[in-house]
């Protein structure tokens, strides 16, 4: 036993191996208990730390290094995922709310610290811990389709103000703690901070834009540039004399608008979310001393004061925002619930304050209790407030003339179909021909790979093989009396060839297929499909056909809302149903707790939109249930095709990696399936670790399947 203990303590490889095992095994166990992963990682730190088995030691150099990388990564991702476009739209109100939700908790925390005998410096730091917030309830808001409400935008925008303010207060408190901060050195420090902030936010942004223009499609170099920007900003912060997490957050804001939505940004977030950030939370667990924690709870007044002070001050800020901007009570409760959780910046600043000696064990343990309480209470209140928010502000009626990004109601529709597999080419072309039948252009595309090491003879053979695919595509289209315009492209990257051809031809839709012989993961997460979906300027439809498209008599379209992106599902179904003389079923599965008025309004708007136009026969099915996948699977048994919808999300697993329900649904469906991928300009949800907490999915079924019904 002593040998094992010494191995993990002294061998960095052994330490890293143990951390990987913890990250891999502990969170799933706690997920089965319906507890957040964060709780499991903290518990693992306690069990394997110096107050448990003693296998991990937070004083070891390897553990300190990995934890430091995790904390700067946490704040970097928090800055990287803030929606700057939404913030700019209503920045004045966001700054007004940010000032209120920053200053009131700051004052409250400072007074609490002074009342319990802390010095002004430590008390001010305690106030800054309460000043920031992490909007954990945002995925719930998004699942209800309420992300465009002004109260939500104001709260998310206020995060920028509160996090920057809290981190700057932390920097000043740490500088004061060194004891050599005079008036002259203080002015010098403020000037250095101001210059540093300007350099990071503006210079790094300009350099990043120039680098991304010149790097082309080299994702490896782009990934390395982002990491270099992160750690340069962190090192620069320490050179200036402030904490590295301040630089990390500013770096995230600086490259926010530089890094496009796509595989590079996805991988940057993925590396942190599955490796370094969890290690930081394990390190936080190493600091938990059970006897000290019990003493903190027994001396409950400090812990209770911090928790009650945070909750009340955040509510006061939301209430004053309501009076200032005349928001409704549901909007006020939404603002309060989103600004309540204390996770990312709070835990990072607490660790820094604890390490420099400004905060003691009692404050550390109280902050951990605060985190657990607010991380649970905030999303719970959000789930209760958002349905009332939608009820008080019913969805805007959709005009019958509304067209989505596809513009399928145009007289001419341009459709690009990449062909590569002779076995699946004919049904795919038949499907495309039916979608453009009578109008539009059908563009079969064959891509021949060429690179420097490929000989002329091999290239000639590959071109001939691609031409054969195009000839077959023309023949398949002529069966339905549709004239195809084949495209042959020689490129060194298949995905880029597809997306570039789509832009050049100004296509409205890219139609792709996946083979039956591959595994489900290969079909859905294949690198070519994934890259095309991320970089395409138009929607992408990925299909699995188990029958001839001419036999699609019953088409099932699950809908969450009546946004223009959901309307695209209906428009695709209409075009196909008109070609096959089929009929459509529009299915909406809602949570049983959804207000009746909202359901009635949804059905009325949908019925009005359908009846206002000459369309194929359509029926509406509204089903209350918490098991969406099972409902859709049950309805699919009487249908030939299911048209689902997915959003491109910031996950490294691929297009639909974030939804286990989606994976289960596609695997269970026995009929043909079409996945319609939205363009990447939609508001994206925060990744789980950007908030420092990966929560179990909410009971709202819309939230659990938002990746394909969003």
Residue 131: pLDDT over 70: yes
Query: What average pLDDT does the segment 260-286 reach?
Result: 79
Least confident of 316-320, 378-382, 390-394: 390-394
Cβ neighbors of 207 (< 8 A, separation 6 or more) are: none
Q: What is the pLDDT of residues 186-235, one digit of tens each?
A: 677 778 778 888 888 888 888 888 888 787 667 778 888 888 888 888 88
Residue 2: pLDDT over 80: no
Structure tokens at 624: 């209350």
**C-alpha–C-alpha distance, residues 525 and 124, integer Å:** 49
Query: What average pLDDT does the segment 436-450 reach?
Result: 85
At residue 397, the pLDDT reads 44
**C-alpha–C-alpha distance, residues 26 and 44, integer Å:** 7
At residue 639, the pLDDT reads 92
Task: Give the CA dihedral 146, 395, 643, 695, nearest 10 degrees.
Answer: 20
- What is the CB-side half-sphere exposure of residue 9 using CA atoms within 13 A? 14
Give the angle 427-431-436 at the CA atoms, nearest 5°: 145
Q: CA–CA distance from 355 to each of 5, 222, 280, 645 (Å)?
A: 25, 34, 14, 48
Q: CA–CA distance from 472 to each of 421, 439, 469 (Å)?
A: 11, 21, 5
At residue 411, the pLDDT reads 55
Per-residue pLDDT band for 521 (boundaries 50, 70, 90) equals very low
Q: What is the pLDDT of residues 348-389, one digit of tens each?
A: 778 778 877 788 888 888 888 888 788 778 878 887 887 777
DSSP category for residue 684: P
Residue 703: pLDDT over 60: no
DSSP category for residue 551: G
DSSP category for residue 550: G
At residue 262, the pLDDT reads 67
At residue 527, the pLDDT reads 61
Query: What average pLDDT does the segment 130-134 reach?
Result: 82
Per-residue pLDDT band for 607 (boundaries 50, 70, 90) equals confident
Q: What is the pLDDT of residues 581-602, one digit of tens each?
A: 889 999 988 878 777 777 887 7
Cα-flanking dihedrals φ and ψ of residue 674, to 5°? -125, 125
At residue 662, the pLDDT reads 59
Average pLDDT of every residue of the chain:
77
DSSP category for residue 516: S
Residue 391: pLDDT over 70: no
**C-alpha–C-alpha distance, residues 691 and 342, integer Å:** 9
Per-residue pLDDT band for 403 (boundaries 50, 70, 90) equals very low
Query: What average pLDDT does the segment 602-607 reach?
Result: 78
Per-residue pLDDT band for 320 (boundaries 50, 70, 90) equals very high
Task: Give yes or no for a contact between 688 and 694, defined as CB atoms under 8 angstroms apart.
Answer: yes
Q: What is the pLDDT of residues 481-494, one digit of tens each?
A: 888 899 999 887 88
Per-residue pLDDT band for 696 (boundaries 50, 70, 90) equals very low
At residue 445, the pLDDT reads 93
Residue 689: pLDDT over 50: no
Q: What is the pLDDT of residues 40-75, one digit of tens each?
A: 888 888 888 887 888 888 778 888 888 888 878 877
CA-wise closest residue to 347 among 170, 229, 226, 201: 170
Q: Pairing state of beta strands 618-624 and 441-449? A: unpaired
Cβ neighbors of 293 (< 8 A, separation 6 or more) are: 361, 365, 368
Q: What is the pLDDT of residues 627-659, one digit of tens each?
A: 888 889 899 999 999 998 875 544 333 333 334
Query: What average pLDDT does the segment 606-610 reach?
Result: 72
Least confident of 88-92, 318-322, 700-704: 700-704
Query: What average pLDDT does the segment 592-618 reach?
Result: 72
Percentage of the chain beyond pLDDT 90 is: 8
Residue 700: pLDDT over 50: no
- Domains for the chain: give ranges and CATH numbers: 75-276+289-392 (1.20.1530.20), 396-407+513-710 (3.40.50.620), 411-507 (3.40.50.620)
Query: What average pLDDT does the segment 384-412 reach?
Result: 55
At residue 180, the pLDDT reads 60
Least confident of 462-476, 513-527, 684-698: 684-698
Per-residue pLDDT band for 297 (boundaries 50, 70, 90) equals low
More confident residue, 649 or 33: 33
Q: What is the pLDDT of residues 541-553, one digit of tens each?
A: 888 888 888 889 9
* Alpha helical stretches, state H, 326-446: 329-338, 344-355, 361-392, 422-436
At residue 237, the pLDDT reads 81
């Amino acid at each position: 036993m002593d040998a094992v203990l010494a191995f993990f303590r002294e061998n960095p490889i052994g330490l890293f191996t143990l951390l990987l095992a913890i990250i891999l095994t502990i969170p799933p166990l706690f997920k089965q208990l319906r507890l957040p992963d964060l709780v499991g990682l903290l518990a693992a730190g306690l069990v394997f730390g110096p107050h448990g088995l003693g296998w991990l030691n937070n004083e070891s150099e390897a553990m300190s290094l990995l934890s430091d990388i995790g904390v700067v990564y946490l704040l970097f991702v928090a800055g990287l995922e803030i929606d700057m476009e939404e913030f700019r739209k209503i920045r004045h109100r966001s700054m007004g709310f940010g000032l209120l939700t920053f200053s009131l908790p700051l004052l409250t925390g400072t007074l609490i610290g002074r009342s319990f005998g802390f010095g002004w410096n430590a008390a001010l730091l305690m106030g800054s811990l309460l000043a920031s917030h992490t909007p954990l309830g945002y995925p719930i808001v998004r699942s209800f389709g309420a992300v465009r409400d002004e109260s939500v935008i104001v709260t998310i925008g206020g995060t920028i103000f509160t996090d920057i303010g809290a981190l700057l207060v932390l920097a000043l408190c740490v500088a004061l703690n060194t004891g050599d901060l005079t008036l002259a050195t203080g002015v010098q420090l403020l000037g250095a901070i101001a210059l540093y902030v300007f350099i990071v936010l503006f210079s790094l942004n300009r350099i990043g834009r120039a680098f991304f223009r010149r790097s082309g499609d080299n994702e490896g170099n782009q990934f390395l540039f982002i990491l270099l920007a992160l750690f340069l900003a962190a090192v620069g912060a320490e050179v200036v004399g402030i904490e590295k997490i301040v630089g990390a957050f500013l770096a995230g804001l600086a490259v926010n608008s530089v890094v496009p939505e796509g595989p590079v940004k996805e991988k940057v977030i993925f590396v942190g979310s599955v490796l370094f950030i969890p290690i930081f939370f394990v390190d936080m667990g190493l600091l938990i001393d059970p006897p000290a924690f019990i003493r903190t709870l027994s001396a409950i007044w400090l812990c209770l004061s911090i928790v009650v002070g945070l909750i009340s001050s955040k509510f006061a800020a939301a209430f004053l925002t309501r009076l200032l901007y005349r928001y409704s009570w549901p909007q006020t409760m939404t603002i309060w619930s989103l600004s309540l959780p204390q996770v990312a910046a709070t835990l990072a600043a607490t660790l820094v304050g604890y390490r420099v000696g400004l905060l003691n064990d009692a404050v550390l343990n109280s902050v951990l209790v605060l985190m657990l309480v607010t991380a649970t209470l905030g999303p719970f209140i959000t789930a209760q407030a958002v349905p009332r928010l939608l009820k008080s502000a019913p969805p805007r009626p959709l005009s019958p003339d509304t067209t989505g990004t596809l513009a399928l109601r145009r007289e001419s529709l341009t459709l690009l179909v990449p062909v590569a597999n002779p076995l699946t080419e004919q049904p795919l072309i038949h499907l495309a021909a039916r979608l453009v039948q009578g109008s539009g252009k059908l563009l079969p595309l064959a891509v021949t790979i060429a690179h420097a090491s490929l000989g002329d003879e091999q290239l000639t053979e590959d071109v001939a093989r691609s031409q054969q695919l195009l000839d077959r595509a023309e023949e398949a289209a002529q069966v339905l009396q549709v004239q195809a315009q084949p495209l042959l492209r020689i490129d060194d990257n298949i995905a880029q060839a597809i997306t570039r051809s789509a832009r050049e031809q100004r296509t409205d839709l890219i139609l792709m297929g996946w083979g039956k012989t591959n595994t489900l993961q290969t079909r859905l997460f294949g690198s070519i499909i994934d890259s095309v979906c991320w970089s395409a300027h138009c929607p992408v439809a990925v299909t699995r056909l188990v029958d001839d498209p001419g036999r699609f008599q019953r088409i099932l379209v699950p809908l969450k809302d009546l946004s223009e992106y959901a309307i695209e599902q209906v428009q695709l179904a209409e075009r196909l149903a008109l070609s096959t003389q089929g009929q459509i079923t529009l299915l909406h599965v809602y949570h049983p707790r959804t207000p009746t008025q909202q359901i009635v309004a949804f059905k009325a708007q949908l019925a009005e939109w359908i009846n206002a136009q000459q369309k194929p026969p359509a029926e509406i099915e509204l089903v209350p249930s918490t098991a969406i996948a099972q409902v859709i699977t049950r309805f699919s048994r009487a249908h030939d095709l299911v048209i689902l919808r997915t959003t491109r999300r910031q996950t490294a697993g691929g297009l639909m990696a974030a939804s286990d329900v989606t994976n289960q649904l596609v695997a269970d469906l026995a009929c043909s399936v079409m996945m319609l991928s939205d363009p990447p300009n939609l508001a994206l949800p925060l990744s789980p670790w950007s908030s420092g907490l990966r929560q179990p999915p909410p009971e709202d079924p819309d939230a659990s399947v938002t990746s394909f019904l969003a």
